[in-house]
Amino acid sequence: MENAGIKHTKIFESTKIMIGGFVMLIIAMGIGRFSYTSILPLMQSQAHLSVTESGYLAGSNNLGYLIAAFCAGFIAWGTRRAYHLKIQLVLCIISTGLMGIASSFIWWMILRFLTGISSGLIFVLSSSLVLDALLSDKRQKWIGIFYGGVGTGIALTGLLTPILSHFSWRGTWIGLLVIGIVLLAPVWTFIRDDKTKPKAPNTDSPTSSAENESIFGWLLVTYGLEGLGYIVSATFLVAMVKQMPHMSSFADYSWIIVGIAAVPSTVLWSWWTSKAGYIKPLITAFILQAFGVIMPVWLPNIIGVTLGSILFGGTFMGISMLAIAAARMARPSSGNRAIALMTGFYGIGQILGPIGAGIVLEVAHSYSLSLILATLVLIIAVTILITGAVNSNKRGLLRNY
């Protein structure tokens, strides 16, 4: 009975940590990072933000995210992850709200950069905190639910932006600050380090063999191209739909659909991974995402935008989860550095994507060309991944993937 009570208490504690992590992802990713996508059309029309400036603001946020996420993989946080998480959550919420107070483009650049740093640290540290708690209780199947916080955050900000927009673009940013505080307050005490460490992986197992590192280079390049390809749609989807004939009123809903599709996607991709390994689902996710990015260009109507939003939302978090998990398996002796390198390549793509797309938009005066180029990047990425998988399979190194 005593052991059962201890087990029940541990499960209850890890559940609270997971709920706290879920809310942290809503704040860091939904509010801190991706709310810019739904607010962008307001800033373009009311604050006269140009498409080139739009790209630079997105690039500044992604640069901050890259620096934070990359460095976080090489820092020994010890038992102070929760302490640093709380600091970064407060900074993320404040820097987001200050966007509605600042009037200078330079200040917007600085604030988006600072928000990127906070959201990057929150994503890495909350992932570490929650995964440790869940793995120590052998609750791996709950990991997909935790990452569903990203999609929930996107859907939430997509729903709130049209309501908050009645107070102008400034009121929308400030309103998100208030929403962030309301979300954070109930789970503040849930954010704490789990004293139990998860069971160390068996270094003698086949999946821990150094030979499995052969696929890592292919994954690294592929994931970098994913960052470059997906971020164009993630930045400009709402603004593009706003400019479509008879589609302006549907623009905000397109981003809500992305978020709703992303919520269950991590659970579904996790389930398929348990049946088929990482590589086949990853290849499938890339192909579906390429269709999702090009769909609004191919069918510039409500059907095309809806299908594109579903395919995009249903794949972008799945790709991140699958690619990072496969990379960690490929380099078991240096998992944190593998994740940091993957995040670094991904982040570089995320910086170059919006800036390049903004320049293309300025010249071509059309979002279509940017999305076509993004689709081509994703096609190249899946081609590289398939090539790497075939080469590794020929050498008998893909059996555990």
Q: How far apart are the two ends of the chain, measured CA to CA in Å?
A: 40
Q: How much is the pLDDT for 383?
A: 96
CB atoms within 10 A of CB 199: 9
Parse the chain into domains and list their residue ranges. 1-194, 205-401
Q: Do 1-194 and 205-401 come out as alike in CATH topology?
A: yes
Per-residue model confidence as pLDDT tens digits over 222-244: 999 999 999 898 888 888 898 88
Report residue 187's pLDDT band, with 50, 70 and 90 as the boundaries. Answer: very high
CB atoms within 10 A of CB 105: 14
Fold of 205-401: Growth Hormone; Chain: A; (1.20.1250)
Residue 10 exposed, middle or buried by CB count within 10 Å (0-12, 13-18, 19+): middle
Q: How much is the pLDDT for 195?
A: 61
Sign of CA dihedral 308, 312, 313, 314: positive
DSSP result, 184-231: HHHHGGG----SSPPPPP-TTSGGG-GGGGGGHHHHHHHHHHHHHHHH
Average pLDDT over residues 160-185: 96
Residue 177's identity, in one-letter code, is L
**How does the average pLDDT of the chain come out, rounded?**
86
Per-residue model confidence as pLDDT tens digits over 326-353: 887 777 666 567 777 888 888 889 888 8
Q: How much is the pLDDT for 206?
A: 39
Q: How much is the pLDDT for 223?
A: 94
Q: How much is the pLDDT for 399?
A: 52
401 has pLDDT over 70: no
CATH number for the domain whose boundaries are 1-194: 1.20.1250.20
Residue bearing the bigger pLDDT, 215 or 369: 369
315 has pLDDT over 70: yes
Q: Which residue has the tokens 């981003």?
A: 255
* Lowest mean pLDDT, pick from 8-12, 101-105, 144-148, 194-198: 194-198
Contact 346, 223 (CB under 8 A): yes
Q: How much is the pLDDT for 200?
A: 43
Report residue 27's pLDDT band, with 50, 70 and 90 as the boundaries. Answer: very high
Q: How much is the pLDDT for 110?
A: 98
Q: How much is the pLDDT for 281?
A: 93
